[in-house]
Amino acid sequence: MEANPGDQMSPRARFAHDLAEYRKSAKMTQATLAARMRCHESLVSHLETGRRAPTLDVAEEADRTFGLDGHFVALFTKIAQSPTLGWFARWVEEIEPRAVILQSWDPLLIPGILQTPDYARAIFQATSAPDRVEERVEARTRRVSIFDGDDPPTFVALIDEGVLHRPIGSADVLAGQLRYLLELTEHPRITVQFVPIAAGCAPGMMSAFALARLRDGSEVVSADSVLSGQVTADHEAVARVKQRYDSIRADAQPKSVTHQAIEDAIRTWTR
């Protein structure tokens, strides 16, 4: 393979280009490569066209399939190493791709992993330097690709129902986000439950947070605030966050009620 074309590409474009080139050099169809990499054929197609960003597992499978010594993992690392991720980079690069169970609580916004580009862009346009907005949008929205594999994590997202009435960007942007959220709830591993405003939910008002259980049984939490954030596996910190999560979920609506609330809000914002 020639290196010159990739020298002028972004790491994500280089990943897409190289995956296609290695596949063609090995005389494989996309279906054959998908079988070798133990993923869906549609994922290979999305990766080669750049519509999906790779996960660490995908990069490792590509290196294994083509007998490479970390070529695709190195490209994945470059993709993931966005300076705008800051402390959250460890969660995105190391935790989410290897999680068996993910749980999150968001008191103000749709969870980042479930956001549309337009919704994420509206958030970052208000909080980031103009030249970093698109980088942040891509870093956030590519995270949903962890659900593309054969064995994605189970994800339970608790969200304050106030997000249904907060038109981030515009009414159209929120309506598009809610339609996308409703679509994602059809995934067998994704559960979304709203916590009604009437519940008060004092335990959840301090900050958003997320928990992850990894394949080795270890547990990790991330917590965010305006001034700081952290990713930690400290046993006491994990225990405190789990207790808070259970308290919040006790007030959450059933999935059927949540789905109806999303549909009602879509109709409201599209009038």
Contacts of 64 (CB under 8 A, 6+ apart): none
Encoding tokens for residue 16? 């897409």
pLDDT at 204: 73
pLDDT at 9: 66
Is the confidence at residue 55, as pLDDT, over 60? yes
| Of 190, 200, 120, residue with least CA distance to 158 | 190
Encoding tokens for residue 4? 């010159």
Question: In the predicted model, what is the mean pLDDT of residues 162-180?
Answer: 96
Which domains, ranges and CATH numbers included, belong to the chain?
A: 4-80 (1.10.260.40), 89-269 (3.30.870)
Helix-then-strand count for the chain, H and E: 12, 6
Band (6; pLDDT cuts 50, 70, 90): very low
Is the confidence at residue 226, as pLDDT, over 70? no
Q: What is the pTM of this model?
A: 0.69
pLDDT at 4: 44
Beta strand 154-160 with 99-106 is parallel
Task: Output the average pLDDT for the chain.
Answer: 87
Express each pLDDT in 120-141 by its tens digit: 999 999 888 888 889 889 888 8
Q: Dmax of the chain from CA atoms?
A: 61
Compute the half-sphere exposure of residue 71: CA atoms within 13 Å on the CB side of its CA.
18
Express each pLDDT in 60-82 by its tens digit: 999 999 999 999 999 888 776 55
Cα separation, 73 vs 105, whole angstroms: 30
